[in-house]
Amino acid sequence: MRLSGRMHTASFAGVRDAARQIAGHAVRTPLIESPALNAHVGGRVLLKAESLQLAGAFKFRGAYNRISRLTADELTRGVVAYSSGNHAQAVAAAARMVGTTAIIVMPADSPKVKVEGVRSFGGEVRMYDRYTESREAIGEEIAASKGSILVRPFDDPFVIEGQGTIGLEIMEQADARLDQLVCGASGGGLIAGINLAMAALSPHTKVIAVEPQHYNDMQLSIAAGERLTHPPAPGTICDALMTDRPGELTFPINRRVERVETVSDAEVAEAVRFAFRTLKLVVEPGGAVSLAAVLAGKVETRDRTTAVILSGGNV
């Protein structure tokens, strides 16, 4: 096991190591195929249902991979995280599993179900105003004052590698060659981990990122070749995907994506409805953007095999 304080770079070897680290703790989520969805889009779609993950989203993988590596001394000092909800719940759950405490900085407009989820896992919630305060500054201040370990939502190599275990599982579960993989993007931790796995295991598979229409910082950054911040944007139902700039560690990895698509709130709402009524799955808006892109025809699926990440179900 690598020590938590040792500097390292996220890698495919690290993704494999993360798979060993989280085994028996994270859920090995199913890869689901729906005949109704296949008929609707004219191709094979394999759905990775991370909405069924512990704490309701993929975030538990990275959080547990990071927190389970804390030293005995670090465990006594606890952890701090900032998140709109899914990373928050994942950190609280992982912290309780390993026997440490967690303080979570959450925006005041976080969905109630996510705030209650953090508290149910024993986490302490500190609210902030996402429009006038910096969650990063608050988190770093709390960590400094208490000597706690800051667990970042995406810009941490252990977190990236933990999320990459989804890519490993998909390749083990899929019974066909994957032509493309569609994944939502915000700070980029999930899709960065998946890119590490796909580059090593299935380099021919095109990885397509999807963002909310007005929160397209990754799309802008990929086009410019550098990290950019999107312009001031209206609200979105995709509360989990409101990061305004790609991560410093994730962006170089994610430059290998085939392209970045965007979806409107209306298209996302239709995907949430389709998932519930047709697939019998509860998927939150931020977790449904990849399905939204497929249903809206933003990604061509006819006569192809497409993996789609349903990243969360906390709605």
Contact criterion met (CB below 8 Å) for 88 and 116: no
Tens-digit pLDDT profile for residues 36-94? 999 999 999 999 999 999 999 999 999 999 999 999 999 999 999 998 789 999 999 99
> Which entry of 110, 186, 221, 311 is annotated as an active-site residue?
311
- Does residue 206 have an active-site annotation? no
Tens-digit pLDDT profile for residues 217-259? 999 999 999 999 999 888 899 999 998 899 999 999 999 999 9
Tens-digit pLDDT profile for residues 13-24? 999 999 999 999
Tens-digit pLDDT profile for residues 165-176? 999 999 999 999
Backbone angles phi, psi at 13, to 5 degrees: -60, -40
> Which entry of 48, 51, 59, 221 is annotated as an active-site residue?
59
d(CA 162, CA 154): 10
- Does residue 311 have an active-site annotation? yes
Q: What share of the chain is helix, strand, coil (3-state, %, to 5)?
A: 45, 15, 40
- CA-derived radius of gyration, the chain: 18
Q: Give the count of alpha carbons within 13 A of 69, CB side only.
A: 26
Contact criterion met (CB below 8 Å) for 86 and 107: no
